[in-house]
């Protein structure tokens, strides 16, 4: 009996591996829209897809970033200025994209890559605006861009690829960031089922920490200082400045061992080029071997592990 079970498992994993290797054809006839191409994942992905022969429409927040990307790419790549937090910008970008596309041509893929780290700090120091600012880019930007360009993706029976995070599976600080990524997970799962019969595929990337311009230690320090000052005197006294320093040190330790950024670009590429893309791409050693374990075990155990050496307010002692 065990031999049958082993044979079935080997057959299943072999078939899964084989199907995962199959690629779509005619890259040169396909148009891909990627948001957040100023730096980081989006910038590298735009260049990777351009090198593979895709027609890349790269959106950038800043015009100078668009100019630099254009100079580093082939004539196939075109840029569009876009702030994903602005509904007006998204509508204007849609008009520009339709002018770029040949008649009766749609988008093979829309990659919702744009995002921010957002506000950092304990819940008692954060205000509503801190949450709204993060959600507006990381969640509502994904929703609005997807909604706007979905008819063009439907034309090609293409795919939507959304960047989430391991923080969208197991919440940790900064909480506004985690909330936005949980939202991306929920939106993507619901969308995948909604467009199931339309021939559109939806994939989610869940990377662990990788070093990009989305966050740096100076930005984190300034963020904690800003939100700490938002708290009232009693709150500041209870937590103490030592708590803030400990939080910054936690982030610094995470930044000291970032993953290879090419792992994320490889996952993006597979989601766009594979004939049978995955629903989820868990990217990075930390994501696969630590975070996956933490969101699998009972909450009491994951809470204990995550909180054992976590920063503690001065007022607890």
Asked if 238 and 315 touch (Cβ cutoff 8 Å), the reply is yes
Residue 4 annotated among the catalytic residues of the structure: no
User: How far is 145 from 139, CA to CA, in rounded Å?
Assistant: 10
With residue 230 as reference, give the H or E element that holds it: helix 217-230
Asked if 169 and 291 touch (Cβ cutoff 8 Å), the reply is yes
State the residue for tokens 């930007």: 141
State the residue for tokens 């990217």: 283
User: How far is 224 from 231, CA to CA, in rounded Å?
Assistant: 11
With residue 54 as reference, give the H or E element that holds it: none
Residue 203 three-state SS: strand
Catalytic residue among 4, 31, 177, 276: 177
Asked if 160 and 109 touch (Cβ cutoff 8 Å), the reply is yes
Query: Which among 34, 67, 64 has a CA at the least distance from the CA of 50?
Result: 34
Asked if 130 and 119 touch (Cβ cutoff 8 Å), the reply is yes
Task: Give catalytic residue positions.
Answer: 177
């Amino acid at each position: 009996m065990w031999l049958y079970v082993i044979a079935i498992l080997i057959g299943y994993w072999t078939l899964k591996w084989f199907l995962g290797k199959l690629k779509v054809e005619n890259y040169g006839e396909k148009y891909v829209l990627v948001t957040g191409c100023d730096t980081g994942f989006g910038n590298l992905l735009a260049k990777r897809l351009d090198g593979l022969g895709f027609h890349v429409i790269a959106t950038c927040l800043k015009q100078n970033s668009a100019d630099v990307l254009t100079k580093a790419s082939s004539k196939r790549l075109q840029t569009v200025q876009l702030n994903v937090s602005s509904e007006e910008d998204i509508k204007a970008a849609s008009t520009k994209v339709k002018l770029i596309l040949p008649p009766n041509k749609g988008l093979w893929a829309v990659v919702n890559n744009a995002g921010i780290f957002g506000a950092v700090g304990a819940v008692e120091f954060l205000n509503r605006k801190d949450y709204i600012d993060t959600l507006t880019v990381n969640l509502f930007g994904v929703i609005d861009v997807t909604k706007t360009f979905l008819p063009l993706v439907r034309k090609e029976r293409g795919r939507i690829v959304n960047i989430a995070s391991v923080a969208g599976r197991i919440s940790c600080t900064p909480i506004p960031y985690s909330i936005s990524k949980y939202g991306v997970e929920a939106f993507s799962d619901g969308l995948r089922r909604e467009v199931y019969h339309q021939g559109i595929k939806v994939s989610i990337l869940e990377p662990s920490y990788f070093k990009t311009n989305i966050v740096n230690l100076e930005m984190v320090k300034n963020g904690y200082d800003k939100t700490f000052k938002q708290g009232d005197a009693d709150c500041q006294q209870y937590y103490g400045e030592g708590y803030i320093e400990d939080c910054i040190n936690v982030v610094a330790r995470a930044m000291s061992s970032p993953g290879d950024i090419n792992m994320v670009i490889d996952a993006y590429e597979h989601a766009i080029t594979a004939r049978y893309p995955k629903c989820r791409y868990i990217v990075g050693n930390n994501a696969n071997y630590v975070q996956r374990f933490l969101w699998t075990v009972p909450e009491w155990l994951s809470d204990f592990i995550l909180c054992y050496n976590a920063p503690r307010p001065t007022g607890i002692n």
